[in-house]
Chain A
Amino acid sequence: QSLLTQPPSASATPGQTVTVSCSGNRSNIGTNYVHWYQQLPGMAPRLLIYNTNRRPSGVPDRFSGSKSGTSASLAISGLRSEDEADYYCGAWDDNLSGWMFGGGTKLTVL
């Protein structure tokens, strides 16, 4: 099964801004909202960004999302050690008629 494309890893130092990319096609990101999940070690995924750029209650505004064409990005500013986690993008895929996720990006805070 195809996945949305994410870089396997990213890293940055505390206080910096890091960006995670997510690439798809017209049937998913190009047409539908993108959502982002954070998965801390040993935990279930947590919805971090929904509808491309909206934050659920309780998510700090250090986290932001954007989309252009068939690609999307998650930006984390003022990086903190507790942001070290796996990040997944997801989008509804019209061809699949279901949810498609990225392979995940492991963020390391140096």
Chain B
Amino acid sequence: QLQLQEAGPGLVKPSETLSLTCSVSGGSINSGNYYWGWVRQPPGKGLQWIGSVFNTVNIYYNPFLESRVTISVDTSKTQLSLKLTSVTAADTALYYCATSPGSFDPFDIWGQGTMVTVSS
């Protein structure tokens, strides 16, 4: 059974870069059998898709965040990573990594999430 575990700094200063990782266990991150994605949830608000990756190189982003987001896969570490540049208070959220069996399939396995607060 796949398990996902996010990790991050907790607090990031405005204008800096937010960096998160998602460790994958119970399955191969580069098997090509899964789509991997990032979803965030601002406090008290709904879910927002950030981006997804398939086969480590096929990556697509939410157009509203695309200019600031980089998603990558480190197969040696079996980790998914997220970088978000020039953060503001609006980027304060609970960040989840999740996976689905296909590009149009819903995310069926989620990590527990990691909270990131943007504040000076």
Contact = CB atoms under 8 A, between A and B. Distances in A.
Interface stretch (B8-16, B21-29, B58-66, B76-84): B58-66
Contacts of B110: 44-46
Contacts, number: 60
Given A97-B60, A98-B60, A45 B47 contact: yes
B62 A104 contact: no
A47 B47 contact: no
A32 B49 contact: no
Interface stretch (A13-21, A73-81, A88-96): A88-96
Interface residues of B, number: 24
Contacts of A100: 49
A98 B49 contact: yes
A68 interface: no
From A47, A98, A102, name the one whose CB has the most chain B CB atoms within 10 angstroms.
Answer: A98
B111 A32 contact: no
B39 to A, nearest CB: 8
Nearest to B62: A98
Contacts of A45: 47, 96, 107, 110
Contacts of A47: 106-108
A104 B113 CA distance: 18
Interface of B: 37, 39, 45-49, 51-52, 60-64, 96, 104-108, 110-113
A-B CB proximity, top 3 nearest: A99-B49, A35-B106, A101-B47
25 contacts: A1-B48, A32-B104, A35-B106, A37-B47, A37-B106, A44-B110, A44-B111, A44-B113, A45-B47, A45-B107, A45-B110, A46-B110, A50-B105, A50-B106, A50-B108, A56-B108, A96-B62, A96-B63, A97-B60, A98-B52, A99-B39, A99-B52, A101-B47, A102-B46, A103-B46
